[in-house]
Amino acid sequence: MRKRREKSKKAVFVVAIIFVVATLILGCAQQQPPTQTPAQQQPPTQTPSPRPVLICGALPLTGALAKNAEKIKMAYEDWAEYINAHGGLLGRRVVLKIYDDEGDITKGTELAEKCITVDRCDFLLPWYEGHVSRAVMPIAEKHKMLYTGMGGHLQSFQQGYEYVVCAPPLMGEWWFEGMGSFLQSLPQDERPKKAYIMTARLTIFDAVGTDIKQWLDKLGIPYKEEVYSLPLKSADSLILNAKDYDADLLILNGLFPDGVLAMKAAIKYNYTPAFIFQSVGSPDPEWIGLLGSKGNYVFTGMAWYPNLPYEGNDLIVKTWKEKHAKKHGEQVPVYYGLGWCWIKTIEIGVKGAKSFDQTQVRDYLKSHTIHSPAGDFNIDRRGIPEPYNYLVQWQNGKLELVWPPEVSTAKPLYPHPPWDKT
């Protein structure tokens, strides 16, 4: 009996032990989280977006050339928008930072240093306005930063700079190339007999004047030049001097308002030269807006034209018409096209070199033909192509490309008819 009780106690004890162990196992099983795969245990790793490409610089958004600068700014912004909508620059989004240097050399150079040393830009924005560009170029060179854009004047490219690539350059010393070449093509008896040059006292017009006088000497055309100070209040005395000199080639080597004043004075005094060339500004539609049909027949130089048959030009025209024509008119402004060409040079270099390294991009641009919307350029050791310039002329209220013949949209019209026939 006693043994039976002991066996019964042992059995109860064993059952209790089994119950406790089972309870513990069950409790642990209930507390154990469900088995997870590595992908479930950690959120998927996301590749961070690459740092944007910062292109930084300044334009004279206020001051005498603000109107041109605004068109350039529009082109830069439209180019960046297009690039970003098509995958970025080598997969990186482009960000622009554009300051206002007011056309002032000191502000321009200070902002160039700021872009490089404070903003830590990847590329310098192409500057505008020759005298500021000329001052910025040595700063870019000091920091081994690529400089594209209009450049300064020819002297700027004779300093041995290695990081300058201008395609297309806006070179004062080449501004008469198209007109000079056209005049040279004329039979001797159809060429001008005498020229009168009215030149504004400004560095850019000194440069343009150099090219003008070299061509006139080459063509054997005697000339008289008068230099005037800015701002020009009246062109009457200058035009009367041109008329007294009996010049049949009138060269208005000054700013847009100066040219308008000179044209109005020529009409007023019934002075009708056979050829009229205006250096700066006349491609602006406002030329016809202010002068009406009297603004026709006037020639000017140009480094870019909407109808040029070069790679990428159709995109410039298409973008302008889609985004700006309704507000600003169908005609694509010259400085919009030039601005696009200048910043496009950075794109061509980066894509060609497959790199953002300044030296590699520079080397690519200097060793390959640059297929710019303004033309196909081979850059020499100075950072510029061979001298070139197009010649355009107002005809029936439309700006036509008249020289060289292989890209022209119309033939040059000459001689200028009497004012009562225009």
How much is the pTM? Answer: 0.83
- DSSP assignments along 269-325, one per residue: TT---SEEEE-SSTTSTHHHHHHGGGGTTEEEEES--TT--STTHHHHHHHHHHHTH
CATH class of the domain at 177-302+390-421: alpha beta
Q: pLDDT for 49-65, tens place per residue?
A: 789 999 999 999 998 88
Distance CA 79, CA 89 (A): 11
What is the CATH topology of the domain spanning 53-171+308-377? Rossmann fold (3.40.50)
Distance CA 176, CA 166 (A): 19
- DSSP assignments along 316-356, one per residue: HHHHHHHHTHHHH-SSPPHHHHHHHHHHHHHHHHHHHHTS-
Task: Give the start-to-end residue ranges of the domains of the chain.
Answer: 53-171+308-377, 177-302+390-421
Q: Which is more confidently placed, 6 or 166?
A: 166
Q: What is the mean pLDDT of residues 153-165?
A: 89
In this predicted structure, the answer to whether residue 210 has a pLDDT above a threshold of 90 is yes
Q: Which residue has the tokens 């298409």?
A: 318
Distance CA 212, CA 206 (A): 10
Q: pLDDT for 246-275, tens place per residue?
A: 999 999 999 999 999 999 999 999 999 999
In this predicted structure, the answer to whether residue 318 has a pLDDT above a threshold of 80 is yes
- The answer to which of 16-20, 180-184, 260-264 has the lowest mean pLDDT is 16-20
Q: Which is more confidently placed, 63 or 240?
A: 240
Among residues 131, 227, 211, 199, the alpha carbon closest in space to that of 172 is found at 211
Q: pLDDT for 371-392, tens place per residue?
A: 999 999 999 989 999 999 999 9
**Could you tell me whether strands 53-59 and 123-124 are parallel, antiparallel, or unpaired per DSSP bridges?**
parallel
Q: pLDDT for 397-415, tens place per residue?
A: 999 999 999 999 999 999 9
- The answer to which of 1-5, 163-167, 201-205, 349-353 has the lowest mean pLDDT is 1-5
Q: Would 53-171+308-377 and 177-302+390-421 be classified into the same CATH topology? A: yes
pLDDT score, position 146: 96
